[in-house]
Structure 1
Amino acid sequence: MSPIAEDDIVRRLRAAGCVFAEEEAALLLEAAASPEELEALVGRRVAGEPLEPLLGFAEFGGLRIRVDAGVFVPRRRTELLAREAAALTRPGDAVLDLCCGAGAIGAVIASRVPGAVVYAADVEPAAVRAARANLDPARVFEGDLFAPLPTELRAALAVIAVNAPYVPTDAIALMPPEARLYEPAVALDGGADGLDLHRRIAVEGPDWLAPGGSIVIETSDEQAARTAALFEASGLAARVLTDDDLDGTVVIASRRPPTP
């Protein structure tokens, strides 16, 4: 098979509606080991498969994160969550990447804070496999929220970084096909109002925080006040932080200092 010209790849990607056709074409050319593999990758992308699993990685926070088919792809807006969680972390701190997906947030924290001890957990087996490729596999656990964690982490985590699903169930049908057709529903569906997991984490999370520890959780601009209120109701001091450049919103909920 003759090599495919880059301009032909760009043309096909544009026709399929790919906004960043030039950048995607360059990445597909880099990823393919042969003309046959390149043709297959371009065909799958044109058919609607998300780019990152085809490449085997996602660019996130300056890192290349391994991403497999059927695993939630880290979004650029979540770089706000990773940045703020890393800023709260000190060398030697125990940190949890909860609902970790491929472990992108934990990987950024580990890269920016040498000596941080990063744990991760997710309920989805494919995500756990990917996270074990991006993080220390001995510290990546499979199960529902905090349930699979070692008991010695209770009251010992300096930072809990969370990108739990927060899309309302009825809104999933409105998401781009790349997400709703190729990513697991468990990574998207946040229940009727999108906050089912946030409610559980607000109740369970404080028991896992060390003194002075913080939970940093991604949410939407529309849901932020309600997310913050959930953590306030659990006794944490919560504030909302947004980044317009990233189109990201997080709630940072921290243990209140003890009353003298």
Structure 2
Amino acid sequence: MRRPMIRHKTLREAYRDGAQYLTACGIEDASVDAWLLLTYVTGITRTYFLAEGGAPMMPEQHARYEELILSRGSHIPLQHLTGQQEFMGLLFRVNEHVLIPRQDTEILVEETLARLRPGMRVLDLCTGSGCIAISLAKFGAELLIDAADISEQALAVAAENAACLGAAVRLLHSDLFSDIPGQYDVIVSNPPYIRSHVIDTLAEEVRLHEPHQALDGREDGLHFYRSIIQESREHLCPGGWLLFEIGYDQGESVKALMSEGGFSEIRVKQDLAGLDRVVLGKCAL
């Protein structure tokens, strides 16, 4: 692939050529990504761009923009280039060691918040960037929140996010419940749930640049749901809630696993596209 023809120095021309290059590289939402990279490099607003798009770019900004466009054209995720992703209105640091927070996961946070009361103990398993636990800490009231992950690199990212966002979250290095102390009123998790054989079919941005360990749910995608459901009974207070994010086609399967595990009031919640996204249930009293 030839280098992009970002030879002009005006904001408007740089954006146009960047968007055209990303389109030629097969990048979905190429114009959006070209714009976001332009604002990341220059700090301009859309209003400024509309009024002053003919203004020349500073040479160093132009060079940086071209570099980022080339990287995005090679299917490196936009969020890895900027090092950040918005989630629940908060800005989270991300890198190759954590899954990039998705808007669909906000449904899981909202369903969890609806069940929280002051003083409750909450555990976020497979926390990754910490976006779930930190969002609960920011929008919940007087909660005691633990967040666990098997990856020390992921926990380092979560620790930075908690510090930057001023969230009171205790981070634990644990393989699921292996090093989890005590009991909780609520356990929430977005575990790996993609079937192993499906991973090679995912978009290049996901397949090559997001952590395999955080994606692979083993042969049928349900491995971690089984483990968490089975072990959670020892770590949930009577009447406590267990909430999962799920794949769009896993609602009935995870619902059945929770029923077999003795949970009640089991519900499947849909995302904004109408697809199954969250399964939740209550631990027996």
Same fold (TM over 0.5): yes
Deviations 1:166-206 (A, max 9, x none): 11111111111111111111111111100111110011112
Deviations 1:123-150 (A, max 9, x none): 122211111112258611222012233x
Change (3 A) 1:247 1:76: farther
Q: Is the 8 A contact 1:27 1:55 kept in 2?
A: no
Tell me, in whole angstroms, the C-alpha distance in 2 between the residues paired with 1:220 and 1:138: 27
Aligned counterpart, 1:255? 283
Deviation, 1:3, is 6.8
Aligned counterpart, 2:92? 65
Q: Determine which of 15, 19, 24 is the counterpart of 1:6.
A: 15
The alignment covers a number of residue pairs equal to: 253
DSSP 3-state at the match of 2:192: coil
Change (3 A) 1:230 1:52: same
Q: Is the 8 A contact 2:195 2:218 kept in 1?
A: yes
Q: Does 1:142 align with 2:159?
A: no
Aligned counterpart, 2:25? 16
Q: Which amino acid aligns with 1:50?
A: P
More RCO (CA 8 Å, sep 6+): 1
Deviation, 1:248, is 4.7
Deviation, 1:73, is 0.9
Q: Determine which of 145, 149, 158 is the counterpart of 1:131.
A: 158
Tell me, in whole angstroms, the C-alpha distance in 1 between the residues paired with 2:68 and 2:172: 32
Tell me the TM-score normalized by structure 1: 0.89
Tell me, in whole angstroms, the C-alpha distance in 2 between the residues paired with 1:181 and 1:233: 36
Deviation, 1:246, is 6.6
Q: Is the 8 A contact 1:80 1:248 kept in 2?
A: no
Tell me, in whole angstroms, the C-alpha distance in 2 between the residues paired with 1:31 and 1:142: 33
Q: Determine which of 261, 267, 270 is the counterpart of 1:242.
A: 270
DSSP 3-state at the match of 2:22: helix
Change (3 A) 1:26 1:134: same
Structure 2 residue runs of 5 or longer lacking an equivalent are: 1-6, 43-59
Root-mean-square deviation (CA, aligned residues, Å) is: 2.1
Deviations 1:92-120 (A, max 9, x none): 22211211110111122122213222211
Q: Does 1:113 align with 2:136?
A: no
Q: Determine which of 233, 242, 251 is the counterpart of 1:224.
A: 251
Change (3 A) 1:197 1:248: same
Structure 1 residue runs of 5 or longer lacking an equivalent are: none
DSSP 3-state at the match of 1:58: strand
Query: Identity of aligned pairs, percent?
Result: 35
Deviations 1:67-109 (A, max 9, x none): 1133211222211111111211122222112111101111221
Tell me the TM-score normalized by structure 2: 0.82
Deviation, 1:211, is 2.7
DSSP 3-state at the match of 1:207: coil
Tell me, in whole angstroms, the C-alpha distance in 1 between the residues paired with 2:137 and 2:228: 23
- 165-174 vs 86-95, greater mean Cα deviation: 86-95
Q: Does 1:211 align with 2:238?
A: yes
Aligned counterpart, 1:78? 105
Q: Which amino acid aligns with 1:51?
A: L
Aligned counterpart, 1:30? 39
Deviation, 1:218, is 1.2
Aligned counterpart, 2:46? none
Provide runs of 4+ in structure 1 moved above 6 Å: none
Aligned counterpart, 2:48? none
DSSP 3-state at the match of 1:214: strand
Deviation, 1:18, is 2.5
